Amino acid sequence: MYEKVAFLGLIILIVSASFVFNFSFDSPGKIGFDRTLTKAVCSGNTCRDYFVECLNGEVKSISPISGFVVFPDDWRDTRGFEERSELC
């Protein structure tokens, strides 16, 4: 009986330690992004949404998450210049 309890305790300890280790340290080569966001990038009346990952104010990854959306010819992007042009 003592061996079973000791074995179960050891398993719990190992699993707990692995969670603590996993969440406390970055894996080698893993990039920790300081900002992730979605951003609509438009040209004229055509826009596409992107998932953007930033680190220290620089784009590290950008991936499309939608197809192109075409608005009516008289559509205007109401975002300010900085909001339209800055990704990070």
Q: Tell me the pLDDT tens digit for each residue of 7-50.
A: 454 444 454 544 434 444 444 455 677 899 999 999 999 999 99
* All residues at 6 or more sequence positions from 50 whose CB lies less than 8 Å from its CB, including other chains: 38, 39, 40, 41, 62, 63, 64, 65
Instruction: Decide if 41 contacts 47 (C-beta within 8 A).
Output: yes
* In a domain? residue 77: yes
Please give the average per-residue pLDDT across 72-84, as a whole number: 93
Give the range of the structural domain holding residue 48, as residue numbers without chain letter: 27-85
At 47, list the tokens: 């826009």
Among the listed residues 27, 38, 79, the one whose alpha carbon sits nearest the alpha carbon of residue 61: 38
* In a domain? residue 17: no
* In a domain? residue 42: yes
